[in-house]
Amino acid sequence: MNTTVSFTTSPLPLPTAPRQVPLRNVTKIRTNCSNCSLRNLCLPCGLKGRDMARAEEVVYTRKRVNRGESLYRTGDPFLSLYAIRNGFFKSTLTLADGRDQVTAFHMRGEMLGMDGIGAGAHESTAIALEDSEVCVMPYGLLQQLSRDIPELQNQFHKVMSRELVREHGVMMLLGSMRTNERVAAFLLNLAKRLGACGYSSKQFQLCMTRREIGSYLGLQLETVSRAFSQFQENGFLSVQQRQIGILDVNGLQTALGKR
């Protein structure tokens, strides 16, 4: 007997934040997402015509965050999502013993702030690793527009899925890989993400320190430094302080256990 399975085409609603705080002292700016070089990575991706024009209402303002400053801190009320236009951020959690644990690195074209949706307050701290700029998207406004623009809602779910996949990748790093495998996976993933943003995937400067990389990968500073030195000795990398050149992608993939 043949069984026909039908699927609904109605998009799932956006997650509802427990509370919304109105915008204060924020000036609306005129935006043009259709001409943005990051449009294929951001929420308006795939929108056209009137839908694109309406989606531009989501970007309420832009905010500059200087190196070392926080975009938001643990416990701050959740108000907005942030699309990184330029720059680099790290997310940190404070452990029970008072140490800060790096949980993620975020770059141009990626989204910040989704950690606050569930509880209505941010669960992590986002700190700029270099002078950066973000597009501020009030979550309440995003919810309103998504009711009228299903494709905007679909794109938001894709962005959330992308973040979940990235978090799963980190769990794989920490749970099943040896030291050099973790560092190789980190460099290959970073190169891939930089390439997707239009940067060189072979020559780049690290915005984070070796200590921050170690915190992210669950390794000591000295262990990370030794891995970089070994990759350089093997001819996989050229390393000059924070300037990295990937000389042999296949070599790094071999270190990761891939061929």
pLDDT in tens, 149-162: 777 777 777 777 77
Is the pTM higher than 0.75? Answer: yes
Domain span at residue 182 reads 177-255
The answer on pLDDT for 249 being more than 70 is yes
Task: Give yes or no for a contact between 47 and 151, defined as CB atoms under 8 angstroms apart.
Answer: yes
Asked if the structure places residue 162 within a domain, the reply is no
Residues 127 and 59 in one domain: yes
Across the chain, what does the average pLDDT equal? 80
- What is the number of structural domains in the chain? 2
Indicate which CATH number applies to the domain containing 217: 1.10.10.10
More confident residue, 15 or 244: 244
More confident residue, 144 or 20: 144
Give whole-number Cα distances, 149 to 48, 186, 208, in Å.
11, 36, 38
Q: How confident is the model at residue 45 (pLDDT cuts 50, 70, 90)?
A: low
What are the tens digits of pLDDT across the range 79-129? 999 989 899 999 999 988 888 999 999 998 888 998 998 889 999 999 999
Site of tokens 């990626």 = 110
CB atoms within 10 A of CB 221: 14
Q: What contacts 124, CB < 8 A, 6 or more positions away?
A: 74, 91, 92, 93, 103, 104, 115
Helix (H) or strand (E) holding 243: strand 243-246
Asked if the structure places residue 5 within a domain, the reply is no
More confident residue, 28 or 99: 99
The answer on pLDDT for 5 being more than 50 is no
Q: Report the range of poorest mean pLDDT among 101-110, 172-181, 245-254.
A: 172-181
Task: Give yes or no for a contact between 247 and 237, defined as CB atoms under 8 angstroms apart.
Answer: yes
- Judged by phi (left if over 0) then psi (alpha if -120 to 50, else beta), residue 113 lies in left
CB atoms within 10 A of CB 13: 11
Asked if the structure places residue 158 within a domain, the reply is no
| 105/216 Cα distance (integer angstroms) | 9
The answer on pLDDT for 2 being more than 60 is no
Indicate which CATH number applies to the domain containing 138: 2.60.120.10
Residues 41 and 116 in one domain: yes
The answer on pLDDT for 258 being more than 90 is no
CB atoms within 10 A of CB 222: 11
Residues 37 and 117 in one domain: yes
